[in-house]
Amino acid sequence: TEVDFVEMFDHVLDRFEMSKRENIEIVRQLPRVAIYTKVDQDKMTQVLDNIISNAIKYSPEGGTITARCWTIGKKIRISISDQGVGIPKNNLSKIFDRFYRVDKARSRELGGTGLGLAIAKEMIHAHHGDIWAESKWGQGTTIYFTLPYKRIREVGDK
Ligand code: ATP
Ligand code: MG
């Protein structure tokens, strides 16, 4: 079945908007079109949950999280940026490994098992997409992923 990724993303963000800490802002930059993808909706929801919950977990007080979505060629590209502690350059590729955590002490305090991004990577690859991270230590992190899409529908069209 085809899923409008933009609508699904918007719904996931609505849910985080209600449960997040008050002093964190979530900014959405989503296109006003429907972008249909052939994805398992439950799995994609989990991918988004894992990435957004990290962004919130590692955000400072008063931080802004920016959620973007656009198309490049035949692929939809999603990014989720935060203004958190960031990830040192030489650890960037490892965060998608099972049980890998950058700062063991800090991660233990924050909870979790170190599986969130490994699961996200598995699911994105199973859907023929890519996932990667960009980060500046002390400034913030952006997680990107891509997915093939089937078609775009302009708002107002059928
Ligand atoms: P779990 O997701 O199982 O609850 P986790 O969040 O520690 O635990 P992952 O989501 O796989 O595990 O992330 C792996 C590690 O990558 C984290 O422990 C953290 O060190 C680092 N990391 C992930 N996202 C961010 C982020 N937005 N900012 C800073 N560090 C991050
Ligand atoms: Mg996580």
Q: Report the nearest-CA residue for atom 5 of ligand 1.
A: 114
Q: What angle do CA 111, 119, 62 make, to 5 degrees?
A: 45
- Find out whether the beta carbon of 56 lies less than 6 Å from any atom of ligand 1: no
CB of 122 closer than 6 angstroms to any ligand 1 atom: no
118 ligand 1 Cβ < 6 A: yes
Q: What is the ipTM of this complex?
A: 0.98
* 24 CB neighbour count, 10 Å cutoff: 19
If you measure from the C-alpha of residue 146 to the centroid of ligand 1, how many angstroms do you get, rounded to a whole number?
19
Compute mean pLDDT per 10 residues along the chain, 158 residues long, and list them: 96 95 95 96 98 95 97 97 94 93 74 90 98 94 98 80
Task: Point out which residues pair with 35 in neighbouring strands.
Answer: 152
pLDDT of residue 98: 94
Nearest ligand 1 atom, CA 116: 2
Helix axes 116-126 and 41-57, enclosed angle (nearest 10):
150
pTM of the model: 0.95
